[in-house]
Copies of this chain bind each other. A is one copy, B any other.
Amino acid sequence: MNRSELSQLIRKKQSFLCVGLDTDITLIPPHLLKCDDPVFEFNKAIIDATHDIAIAYKPNLAFYESRGLKGWQSLEKTMNYLAQFKNEIFTIADAKRGDIGNTSKMYAKTFFEHLNFDSVTVAPYMGEDSVTPFLEYKDKWVILLGLTSNKGSSDFQFLETGNGKLYETVIRKAQQWGTADQLMFVIGATHPEQFKSIRALAPDYFFLVPGVGSQGGDLDKICENGLNAQTGLIINSARQIMYASKGEDFAQAAKAEALKVKQAMGKFLAPL
């Protein structure tokens, strides 16, 4: 999916909500545990209930890998299921990968060829040659960590590096590697005060914004400071939607939560 298609999708659905699929088998409704593949059944029900409201899904790789082969099977089935929504859903592999060139190339193959994701999150510490192998795929995306939502973001990302803080240096430098048609940045919702200056630093780039909901980010402030002409924001919500209910009504409860976020987004989107 290219940038113009993504912007059109947002306008069509009047939403820039991404639903995180951090599917934890110990947190899903107990009645699903009798299924052959409870994680896939859970994801399928969440997708069925929310695919008209969300523009993206973001499986978190750790939750699948921690279950080994079974987890990979659930992930592959989820990606195969999402394939039916090809032009209606943007897919994000939340994997935080990044390694020397020949290894990043293998990770790119994993996520873009084998699992057919539209995008993958990548960590910047190892620099250009750890990122560029992911940029060689047409209409596929790198979502590079810029300023993350967690407490530990203060350990290194805010260090002064002579020409701005480390996260600013990362965002500035990475724009030499990939255009706004190939590259997005992860900017955590827990730093609303930084959104204005980050938007000024990367006016045309999409930001994937985790941390709204359970982590406490404020949607209104993020939108006021982070939107651009193509919207430029994908807001992720995981736990708040996925685990809205532990009962048999979990998918309906997830839909209701997703609708609340979509409605909160409405005032920031031009009407159709």
Contact = CB atoms under 8 A, between A and B. Distances in A.
A190 to B, nearest CB: 10
Nearest to A148: B126
Contacts of A154: 127
A198 to B, nearest CB: 16
Taking the full assembly, how many copies of this chain does it contain? 2
A100 B149 contact: yes
Contacts of A173: 155-156
A82 interface: no
A127 B110 contact: no
Interface string A98-111: 11111110110110
A69 B104 CA distance: 19
A165 to B, nearest CB: 10
A255 B63 CA distance: 38
With most chain B CB atoms within 10 A of its CB, the pick from A107, A159, A162 is: A159
A194 interface: no
